[in-house]
Amino acid sequence: MYTPSTALAPQDRRELLLFLGFAFLLLAVGIGLRDPWPSDEPRFVLVAKQMVESGDWLFPHRGIELYSDKPPMLFWLQAVAYELVGSWRIAFLLPSLAAGMLTLFLTWDLGRRFWNHRAGLLAAGAVLFAFQFLYQVKRAQIDPLVMAWITLANWGLLLHFLRGPNWRAYWLGCFAAGLGVISKGVGILALLMFVPYLYARLRGWEGATRTTGSGWRWMAGPLAFLAPILAWGGSVLLVAQASGAPEHRAYVDDLFLRQTAGRYAGSWSHPQPFWYFLPVLLLNWFPLSLAYGAAIPRWWRDLRARDARVMLPLVWSALALLFFSIPTGKRDVYVMPLLPMVALAMAPHLDDLLRTRWLRTTAFVAALAIGALFAVAGGWALLAEPSWALKLVRERDLADVASSVWLLFVAIGAVFLFAALLLRPRRGIAALLAGITGLWLLLSLLAYPLLNPTSSAAALMQRARELAGPEAEIGLVAWKEQNLLMARGPVRDFGFRRPWNEQFDAASRWLAEAPRDRRIFILEDAMELASGCIDRARVREIGRANRRNWFLLGADAVTPGCAAKPASATTQAEEEDE
């Protein structure tokens, strides 16, 4: 039978609050110091912003077109965050922050319930310091949200399966899996936890929950899973059917068939080999990955001892990894939901591992190596300007801040080296974690404002407004989401996925209708398609941002009635995918 956990001891409560406070600081620092950065952040924020402005929260838009590439959960949360704080610069990162904090708390809670408070705290700490976790949770993408919903789903299922019966936790877990689906279709993966649970139950593993006469309670789980999906999907279908609008029908077909059902089977983007995730688990989950070698034999002993607390999260992670490895298309963020479960499976052994000399020494050497790498690279770039440094500066448009960037490299290296020399090999793990903390604090406080002018379109769109004049309406051609998001004053677009030549032709006609009050904002590559229609001597250069050059056209620079040449489908698709 399920027995509620005893209350935390005062010391344990203080440790938990200190850990959560530290985690919040590390994840939240830097919020408000930068705008959304490409490629995904401006797209998602633009969709959320248009939801707020239009009041249409059911059919997301990107400009004048409906946006069906992703389910709307992240957009809803960003829009709600904006309504609460009134600033997009802050609001766009709050859902990821909340998702990260929820994931850490749930990882700790499972570890404490299955073993003890320290095991849970160490497992949550292992998640927090993993590179992929910190990097992604400090960005505004869908994957941290999916990780949080799947972790909540696994939390509910594991409590019921191993500390049950706990029907409320079971229903909550199924409901969270449904929320994961309307964040990104893979939320359904949480239900794979049934596979190792049924195996443990059939094989008589100790701790696997057994229930009798509870068929209706079990069946309420699928209903809880379907509830958020049907509430959203049913609303979309009903409104689309009632409106009869072709764009609504196209939205439904694309979202439910191509983007959800067909995406896994077709897997047309990001082709990678079957073993692609192996280096991801080694490099992106550093420093947790340092413990893999010692954890594997311990896991084997746990499985031989029929410990379901280790087997369920471990086998679930293996099944999810297999699921993501089968299709051709793969991205490193796909495996983020596995991280809390792998850390949980390590939880009973982390305390012993942290006491081993080899792990402390390895962490110390890693801190020294990372520090030396950053310090040497930064110093070399400052003093000698090697070709790799010049290439990076050129590609990222960092010429104006290059010295500051390399000084930041040196500062990061100095933090790692100082921590290693101060704490020595005996406390090598603390040295490595201190260096990682310093790395993210420096990046958040110094790199964000330093890189924001060239990583966002805010300065570019301000310059476009200055050149066009305060009252002129700017028409966007071959635009990126950050251009519309950061636009100042009156602006309009002619479609995003529409071919560039058609955008230009529509913009030219629009410009001719009111030549004194309108201007065209255009990408250099798209302008080349209309080179026969444009007088380059009358074109005004706006500037460069996100590695692209942008220009402003008035009516005097455009030949009326002239048509642009079509762009290759590959070129435009690559631009849209960035």
Q: Which residues contact 204 (CB under 8 A, 6 or more apart)?
A: none
pLDDT above 90: residue 577: no
- Does residue 428 contact residue 361 with C-beta atoms inside 8 Å? yes
- 243 and 225 in one domain? yes
- 337 and 439 in one domain? no
Model confidence band, residue 210 (pLDDT cutoffs 50, 70, 90): confident
Q: Mean pLDDT across the chain, nearest whole number? A: 91
Domain boundary among 455, 473, 494: 455
- Does residue 548 contact residue 521 with C-beta atoms inside 8 Å? no
The answer to whether residue 44 sits within a structural domain is: yes
Cα-to-chain-centroid distance, residue 421: 35
Model confidence band, residue 168 (pLDDT cutoffs 50, 70, 90): very high
The average pLDDT across 398-404 equals: 90
Domain boundary among 389, 422, 455: 455
- 110 and 247 in one domain? yes
Cα distance between residue 416 and residue 374, in whole Å: 9
Place of tokens 């086998």: 315
- 238 and 129 in one domain? yes
- 391 and 332 in one domain? no
Q: Write out 476-543 in H/E/C secondary structure.
A: EECCCHHHHHCCCCCEEECCCCCCHHHHHHHHHHHHHHCCCCEEEEEEHHHHHHCHHHECHHHCEEEE
pLDDT above 90: residue 537: no
Helix, strand and coil percent figures for the chain, each rounded to 5: 70, 5, 25
pLDDT above 50: residue 497: yes
Domain boundary among 294, 323, 353: 353
- Does residue 329 contact residue 269 with C-beta atoms inside 8 Å? yes
Per-residue pLDDT tens digits for 446-472: 999 999 988 888 889 999 999 999 999
- 570 and 443 in one domain? no
The answer to whether residue 443 sits within a structural domain is: yes
Per-residue pLDDT tens digits for 347-363: 999 999 999 999 999 99
For CA atoms 391, 393, 396, 399, give the dihedral sign: negative
DSSP state of 4: P
pLDDT above 50: residue 2: no
pLDDT above 90: residue 574: no
The answer to whether residue 490 sits within a structural domain is: yes
The answer to whether residue 21 sits within a structural domain is: no
Residue 53's domain comprises 40-353
Q: Which two tokens stand for residue 162?
A: 């191993």
- 381 and 503 in one domain? no
- 438 and 503 in one domain? no
Model confidence band, residue 211 (pLDDT cutoffs 50, 70, 90): confident
Place of tokens 């500390």: 163
The average pLDDT across 508-521 equals: 93
- 192 and 309 in one domain? yes
The answer to whether residue 28 sits within a structural domain is: no
Question: How many residues appear in the chain?
Answer: 578
The average pLDDT across 133-144 equals: 96
CA nearest neighbour of 522 among 537, 542, 538, 536: 542
Cα distance between residue 161 and residue 206, in whole Å: 11
The answer to whether residue 389 sits within a structural domain is: yes
- 110 and 208 in one domain? yes
More confident residue, 185 or 430: 430
Q: Give the helix ranges, DSSP H, for 355-401.
A: 357-384, 387-395
Number of domains the chain is built from: 3
The answer to whether residue 26 sits within a structural domain is: no
Per-residue pLDDT tens digits for 225-266: 999 999 999 999 999 888 878 888 888 888 777 665 555 555
- 206 and 69 in one domain? yes
The answer to whether residue 421 sits within a structural domain is: yes
Cα distance between residue 117 and residue 136, in whole Å: 27
pTM metric for this prediction? 0.93
Residue 564: the pLDDT is: 74
Model confidence band, residue 3 (pLDDT cutoffs 50, 70, 90): very low
Cα distance between residue 313 and residue 311, in whole Å: 6
Model confidence band, residue 578 (pLDDT cutoffs 50, 70, 90): low
Place of tokens 């000698």: 384
Q: Provide Rg for the chain, Cα atoms.
A: 26
Residue 569: the pLDDT is: 56
- 470 and 345 in one domain? no
